[in-house]
Amino acid sequence: MNTDIEILENTIIAQNWAVLRKITYRILKANGSRDTQTREAYDRGNGAAILLYNKQKRSVILTRQFRLPTFINGNPEGLLIEACAGILDEADPVACIKRETEEETGYQISEVEKVFEAYMSPGSVTELLYFFVAAYTEDMKLHEGGGLDEEEEDIEVLEYAFDEAYRMLENGQIRDGKTIMLLQYLKIHHFQ
């Protein structure tokens, strides 16, 4: 497929937590014709997500926090159970996820395993998410976690038996895409 694209107009609609742009472009379609289209793209930067696991205990560390978009789209409490994640402040996803892990969960990890990267909502969001897993032990716990006040975070740290967390995925209690992907990865590669 030919991806001959010409940006005709790029307008910032909003620039608060992230940048929302209205982009008009001309694209060469597969049939050889050219089409002019307009779309909006939300640019909040790239991110990283991690799922901590303990093979001996057969457990995982997850978080729970309020997510406004889920609340306005039918999640009655707005609370979502998720894998630890954050936006890359610098270019290095490994440094980002280590920092986020300590801030959100209280665990200080040294070794991470990158498992894949994915665009999570490519129809409207520019974010590329880097996915990691890492083993944890109790002696890695430095503090209670919970996030940073200056980032308005109020994060509850949860430890679940892996089988329980996987059942929560199956019965709809875990509905976050990145968390579902990481739990499935662990099931295939670490908890068969």
Residues of the chain whose pLDDT is less than 50? Answer: none
Could you tell me if 32 and 95 lie in one domain? no
Q: Residue ranges for the binding site for Mg(2+)?
A: 85, 100, 104, 153
Mapped onto helix, strand or coil, the DSSP state of residue 143 is coil
- Cα separation, 183 vs 166, in Å, equals 7
Give 63-83 pLDDT, tens digit per residue. 999 999 999 999 999 999 999
What pTM does this model have? Answer: 0.90
* Residue 2: predicted pLDDT: 55
What is the enclosing helix (H) or strand (E) of 168?
A: helix 162-170
Mark whether 36 and 112 lie in a shared domain. Answer: no
Surface-to-core class of residue 78, CB atoms within 10 Å of its CB (0-12 exposed, 13-18 middle, 19+ buried) = middle
Residue with tokens 């875990």, as numbered in its chain: 174
Q: According to the model, what pLDDT value does residue 82 have?
A: 97
Q: Which pLDDT does position 95 carry in this prediction?
A: 93
- The C-alpha torsion from 70 through 73 and 75 to 81, rounded to 10°, is -20
**Which amino acid, residue 107?**
Y
Q: Residue ranges for the binding site? A: 85, 100, 104, 153
Same-domain status, 174 and 153? yes
The pLDDT assigned to 100 comes to 92
Q: What's residue 62's pLDDT?
A: 98
Residues 118 and 34 in one domain: no
Range of the domain at 32: 5-43
Instruction: Provide the CA 173 distance to its chain's centre, in angstroms.
Output: 17
Is 24 in contact with 5 (CB distance < 8 Å)? no
